[in-house]
Chains A and B, each alone.
Chain A
Amino acid sequence: MESFKQFDHDVLVIGAGGAGLRAAIGAAEAGASVGLICKSLLGKAHTVMAEGGMAAAMGNVDDRDNWQVHFADTMRGGQYLNNWRMAELHAKEAPDRVRELEAWGAVFDRTEDGRILQRNFGGHRYPRLAHVGDRTGLEMIRTLQDHLVYIQNIQVYMESTVIRLLKAGDRVNGVVAYDRERGEFSVFTANAVVLATGGIGRAFSITSNSWEYTGDGHSLAYNAGAALQDMEFVQFHPTGMVWPPSVKGVLVTEGVRGEGGVLRNKDGRRFMFDDIPENYRAQTADNEEEGWRYVQGDKNARRPPELLTRDHVARCIMREVREGRGSPHGGVFLDISWIKTRLKDGEAHIKKKLPSMYHQFKQLADIDITKEPMEIGPTTHYVMGGIRVDGDTQMSTVPGLFAAGECAAGLHGANRLGGNSLSDLVVFGKRAGEAAAAYATKQSRASAPQDAPAQVMSEALSPFARGKEAGAESSFQVQQDLQTMMQSLVGIVRREDEMKKALDGLEELKRRAAKVAVPGGREFNPGWHTALDLGNLLAVSEAVTRSALERKESRGGHFRDDYPEKDPVFSKFNILLRRGDNGEMVVSRENIPEMRGDLKQIVEEQK
């Protein structure tokens, strides 16, 4: 039999983005021995790419802000499908997590009086995002990383990919992983496992997400019997690059609009003024002048319509393009250079507040954003859905299995507000790590699993064995076909007939994936890694499609051409997915528990 190494910890954390790093620190501080496993090198996880900032109601810029307003904004943005307990904890605890990062060495941009500066973002009533120019994620990941590496009882296993969760009875008690460098297997035992694996963006062809985003955590949890929730809610960020082709999908931060950037169609019209949703009308400027005053910090002004929620802005852009008013390469224009007409030092201001956007357009598209508008269009960005968890402990429906960060569901409901992810990572990463440590110490020691690894390993190696079979395909080809299909059939605009076609397509892709062959050896072989990721991508693609079929309405990130309106019936429940006894995906509706009275009152007051 194939040999494997063995490791033992109290708590395993899978993923080293913001959520995983904070969970590992939390568990270690609670006294647990921690194993931290990640697919890339330390410090390279997706969190490094986050740009605009981290939402926390500190009130440094506008002292009218407080957790109640942040809570109400998050619920409104999520169209009330959020787990309200999570939204409450998040709003209350985010400020402490920001200050904690500062205590660990993070250097945020400052206010005049030397405190942490906060910026505007879509859907947030007051300037709320702590930030460092447009590289906030780098600041977060480096701060956490540099804090973590000095902690003795955390062992980091870099460039290792987890391919199975192991269970003893109902409980999770370990994982099987392979290391990318040598292609050798390891079995890790632990009483508690925290998944912090991020999102699923690679299921689509136009995305701001990296190769890591193949929905591994979602799929690992699902296969271990955990429930997934809200998978129909995928966030298409309104502003991705559209030209040149090689950068299609690369993100343009919402911070551009927060600093005064405006959206225009080919006729130069600020089309966002044309369609302001009813529930945001009271908070939104109705003329350009007021919008500008808002981004300049005038407390009596309302925010410009460019800063409406992402789902809405993305759909308005799609409308302009579809109706022939788009830019030459199928997007619309995003212009920040115009602020030079209002600000004396406009050019320097843009470079100071948006340095990596300046850099990115200059180097990748030959565009100087201080002089010309950018061309942008929607890109797959974030998944609101994920592993269903308990709001306080982040434990999934499987004992011993926890989830935090993008791979967990609940906080964001039908649509995430920008900046609410980075704060989510540290608020719930900490909670998950601490709860996992507490759980782990209460259990008797997990015994090393015996048979399961053999089967997992031989399945994982099968693409090599198929090397020479006729009709064997490359893993890259199957992955590309999956992405193209999902983009066109289950993308921003959805219809029943197309999604049914997608389900058939997925069956066919499953058959092809089972026949994928990889040449070469086991050492750092991307063809093999991609072959193993395919199973996860197929599972999350099916989850998105089935949930999207079930939700016969339009809400947040989920838009149905055949049911274009919101339907109150669908505001009462979340859609769950579980693995059935015969391996089939079972869809169910789970009622949302009634909101606590005091929270209801906050929502009413903030309307």
Chain B
Amino acid sequence: MSDRATFRVWRGDSSGGQFRDYATKISEGMVVLDAIHQIQSESASDLAVRWNCKAGKCGSCSAEINGMPKLMCMTRLNSLDLSQPVTVEPMRAFPLLRDLVTNVSSNFRAKLKLKKFTPRAADSPDGTWRMQQTDVDRIQEFRKCIECFLCQDVCHVLRDHHKHEEFVGPRFFVYAAALEMHPLDTEDRTAQLKEAGGIGYCNITKCCTTVCPENITITDNAIIPLKERVVDRFYDPLHALVRLVRGKRNDPAGT
């Protein structure tokens, strides 16, 4: 292995851009974000990139590395073929601001299309609730989400069909699932998921699940159960009637 590698980095802004090659020295344990920082300090101090934690915890450093949506800080160079230039480009599903930085503001708007968490009255006089670990395990999976938006980046509804305003995208199905399956929550977001959320656009390709750095089983655990709720509600009159009579939940929440 040579001790230098070439990184083919996208440089440009909303008006256009091109790849530019940067060669830099590599050392043991390096990740792509280290290489980008090194390039910044050696030869391109204006190379735009977002990062914070450098430990896969904040979800800032999302990019496409050799065409794969990934966190730059968690992509080791020894997992890449360094005999070829490594391409590093911004997430393509979002409008480019500059270099590796994209405008992800549609994601912040998407969240507001879903009603906020609203708990039931407290279980005990001191204002606290009781929940069993087994009842929160499944939403703790969803709450691992670091909002890196890599799942949004890879979803064809956003990436190819640009439905940013009609379809909230996988990240927000995960958000909705965490709320809908929260043992304390009393809201019902089924209609919102169908209308403003556009859940019908999702055709369960599972690409989102494949790229999630937190290994959240987005499609099977979040999207499919939500789709079932929508179907139950809107396309199955008997279920709809039963629900009306029994209230939103038929699963006992906590104990």
Q: Which residues of A contact B (CB under 8 A)?
A: 40-46, 48-49, 99, 102-105, 107, 109-110, 113-116, 132-133, 135, 137-139, 142, 146-147, 149-150, 181, 210-212, 243-247, 250-251, 356, 359-360, 363-365, 474-477, 480, 518-521, 523-528, 530
The answer to whether A245 and B27 touch (CB under 8 A), given A110-B132, A113-B130, A356-B57, is yes
Contact B45 A359 (CB under 8 A): no
What residues of B have a CB within 8 angstroms of the CB of A211 in the complex?
51-52
Contact B55 A526 (CB under 8 A): no
Restricting to B200-243, which residues have a CB under 8 Å from any CB of A? none
The answer to whether A526 and B29 touch (CB under 8 A), given A40-B60, A363-B56, A480-B41, is no
Smallest CB–CB gap between A244 and chain B, Å?
2
A109 to B27: give the CA distance in the assembly, Å. 39
What residues of A have a CB within 8 angstroms of the CB of B34 in the complex?
246
| One of A49, A109, A524 near B98 (C-beta < 8 A) | A524
A104 to B116: give the CA distance in the assembly, Å. 9
Q: Determine if B81 is an interface residue (Cβ-Cβ < 8 Å).
A: no
Which of B17-25, B137-145, B159-167, B191-199 forms contacts with chain A? B137-145
What residues of B have a CB within 8 angstroms of the CB of A116 in the complex?
128
6 A-B contact pairs sorted by A residue (CB < 8 Å): A43-B58, A110-B133, A132-B140, A150-B112, A360-B55, A524-B48
A99 to B122: give the CA distance in the assembly, Å. 11
Q: Determine if B82 is an interface residue (Cβ-Cβ < 8 Å).
A: no
What residues of B have a CB within 8 angstroms of the CB of A181 in the complex?
97, 101
What residues of A have a CB within 8 angstroms of the CB of B58 in the complex?
43-44, 48-49, 210
A46 to B195: give the CA distance in the assembly, Å. 35
Contact B41 A99 (CB under 8 A): no
Q: Which residue of chain A lies nearest to B147 when distances are taken between CB atoms in the complex?
A: A43
Contact B76 A363 (CB under 8 A): yes
The answer to whether A210 and B54 touch (CB under 8 A), given A114-B254, A132-B143, is yes
Contact B45 A246 (CB under 8 A): no
Q: Which residues of B contact A (CB under 8 A)?
A: 13, 27-31, 34, 40-41, 45-60, 74, 76, 97-99, 101, 104, 108, 111-112, 116-117, 119, 122, 127-133, 136, 139-140, 143-147, 179, 182, 185, 254-255
Q: Which residue of chain A lies nearest to B119 when distances are taken between CB atoms in the complex?
A: A103
| One of A103, A147, A476 near B45 (C-beta < 8 A) | A476
The answer to whether A243 and B101 touch (CB under 8 A), given A48-B57, A110-B136, is no
What residues of A have a CB within 8 angstroms of the CB of B179 in the complex?
105
| One of B13, B28, B116 near A244 (C-beta < 8 A) | B28
Closest 6 CB pairs between A and B? A244-B29, A520-B46, A527-B45, A114-B130, A105-B117, A476-B41
Q: Which residue of chain A lies nearest to B134 when distances are taken between CB atoms in the complex?
A: A110
Contact A250 B55 (CB under 8 A): yes
Smallest CB–CB gap between A513 and chain B, Å?
15
The answer to whether A147 and B116 touch (CB under 8 A), given A105-B182, A138-B144, is yes
| One of A364, A521, A525 near B76 (C-beta < 8 A) | A364
A247 to B53: give the CA distance in the assembly, Å. 11
| One of B57, B98, B116, B185 near A135 (C-beta < 8 A) | B57
A211 to B56: give the CA distance in the assembly, Å. 15
A41 to B94: give the CA distance in the assembly, Å. 15
Contact B45 A518 (CB under 8 A): yes
| One of A40, A113, A115, A250 near B52 (C-beta < 8 A) | A40
Contact A49 B139 (CB under 8 A): no
Contact A107 B182 (CB under 8 A): yes
What residues of A have a CB within 8 angstroms of the CB of B182 in the complex?
105, 107
Smallest CB–CB gap between B7 and chain A, Å?
15
What residues of B have a CB within 8 angstroms of the CB of A243 in the complex?
29
Contact B31 A246 (CB under 8 A): yes
A247 to B37: give the CA distance in the assembly, Å. 13
Q: Which residue of chain A lies nearest to B144 when distances are taken between CB atoms in the complex?
A: A135
Smallest CB–CB gap between B56 and chain A, Å?
7
Contact B143 A526 (CB under 8 A): no
